[in-house]
Structure 1
Amino acid sequence: MNGPQRVRWIQRNQYYYTCLLDFLNHTIPQQSSVLEIGCGTGYVLDKLLPSRGVGIDINPELIEYAQQAYPQYTFHTLDAKQLDTLEDTFDYIVLSDTIGSFDDVQHVFGKLHTVCHPGTRIVITYKNFLWTPALNLAEKVGLKMPEQRQNWLDKSDITNLLDIASLDVVRTGRKVLMPRYVPLFSWLMNRYVVNLPLFNQLGLFTFIVARSMHNLKPASEYSVSVIVPARNEKGNIEDIVRRTPHMGRHTELIFVEGNSTDDTWSEIQRITQKYAQERDIKCVQQEGKGKGDAVRKGFGMATGDILMILDADMTVPPEDLPKFFEAVANGKGEYINGTRLVYPMEKEAMRTLNLIGNKFFSIAFSWILNQRIKDTLCGTKVLTKENYERLIANRSYFGDFDPFGDFDLIFGSAKLNLKFVEIPIRYRARTYGETNISRFKHGWLLIKMTFFALNKIKFI
Structure 2
Amino acid sequence: MQLPPKLYNWLVRPEWLTNIYINDLLKENFILKNKDVLDFGCGIGSTSSIFNPEDYLGIDPDQERIKYAQQLYSDYDFQTLDKSKLDFEANSFDYILMIAVLHHIPSDELRDILQQFHQILKSTGKIIVIEPCFFSNSYLNNYFMKIMDNGDYIRNPNQYFKLFQNQYYKVNPIAKYKKMILYNELFFFAIPA
Q: Return the TM-score normalized by structure 2.
A: 0.81
2:15·2:46 contact (CA, 8 Å) conserved in 1?
no
User: Is residue 177 from structure 1 mapped to residue 178 from structure 2 by the alignment?
Assistant: yes
Larger RCO (CA within 8 A; separation ≥ 6): 2
After superposition, give the CA deviation of every residue in 1:142-195 in whole Å (9 maximum; x if it has no partner). xxxxx42421422222222212212222x1043433526xxxxxxxxxxxxxxx
**How far apart are the structure 2 equivalents of 1:36 and 1:17?**
16
> Which structure 2 segments of 5+ residues have no match?
136-140
Q: Which has the larger radius of gyration?
A: 1
3-state SS in 2 of match to 1:153: coil
**Aligned residue for 1:120?**
125
Q: Which residue does the alignment assign to 2:188?
A: 208
2:56 corresponds to: 53
Do the aligned partners of residues 93 and 80 (structure 1) sit closer, same or farther apart at CA in structure 2, a change above 3 Å counting? farther
Q: Which amino acid aligns with 2:104?
A: S
Task: Provide the rounded CA distance (Å) in 2 between the counterparts of 1:153 and 1:99.
Answer: 9
Alignment of 1:189-204 (within 5 A): 204=184
Match of 1:132 among 119, 142, 148: 142
Q: Is the 8 A contact 2:39 2:59 kept in 1?
A: yes
Could you list the per-position Cα deviations for residues 219-264 of structure 1 after superposition, in whole angstroms to 9, with x for gaps in the alignment? xxxxxxxxxxxxxxxxxxxxxxxxxxxxxxxxxxxxxxxxxxxxxx
Match of 2:166 among 160, 164, 167: 164
Identity among equivalent pairs (%): 21
The alpha carbon displacement at 1:126 in A equals 1.0
Gaps of 5+ in 1: 140-146, 181-201, 214-460
Q: Which amino acid aligns with 2:102?
A: I
| Residues 1:80 and 1:173: Cα distance change in structure 2 (over 3 Å) | farther
**How many residue pairs get matched?**
182
Compared CA separation, residues 41 and 12, structure 1 to 2 (3 A): closer
The aligned runs of 1:316-335 (5 Å cut-off) are none
Q: Distance in 2 between matches of 1:175 and 1:111?
A: 27
Residue 132 (structure 1) shift: 2.0
Q: How does 1:332-371 map to 2 (within 5 A)?
A: none
CA distance in 2, matches of 1:2, 1:205: 23
- What's the counterpart of residue 148 of structure 1? 150
State the 1:10 CA deviation: 3.3
Q: Deviations over 1:397-434 (max 9, x none)?
A: xxxxxxxxxxxxxxxxxxxxxxxxxxxxxxxxxxxxxx
Give how far 1:75 is off. Answer: 1.2
State how far apart, in whole Å, the 1-side matches of 2:131 and 2:53 are. Answer: 22
1:62/1:16 CA distance change after superposition, 3 Å? closer
Following superposition, the deviation at residue 108 of structure 1 comes to 1.3
**1:20 aligned to 19, 22, 35, which one?**
22
Cα deviations across residues 369-415 of structure 1 (Å, max 9, x unaligned)? xxxxxxxxxxxxxxxxxxxxxxxxxxxxxxxxxxxxxxxxxxxxxxx
Q: Aligned pair in 2 of structure 1 residues 127, 178: CA closer, same or farther (>3 Å)?
A: closer
Cα distance in 2, alignment partners of residues 95 and 54 from structure 1: 13
1:57-90 deviation digits (Å, cap 9, x = unpaired): 110001111122222221111145522x122611
Alignment match, 1:280: none
Please list the CA deviations of residues 183-218 of structure 1 after superposition, one character each: whole Å capped at 9, or x if unmatched.
xxxxxxxxxxxxxxxxxxx982112211124xxxxx
Q: 1: distance between equivalents of 2:84 and 2:192?
A: 17
CA 1:208–1:12 in 2, change beyond 3 Å: closer, same or farther? closer
More strand by share: 2
2-structure distance, mates of 1:25, 1:50: 16
Residues 80 and 160 (structure 1 numbering): CA distance in 2 closer, same or farther, change over 3 Å?
A: farther
How far apart are 1:51 and its partner, in Å? 4.7
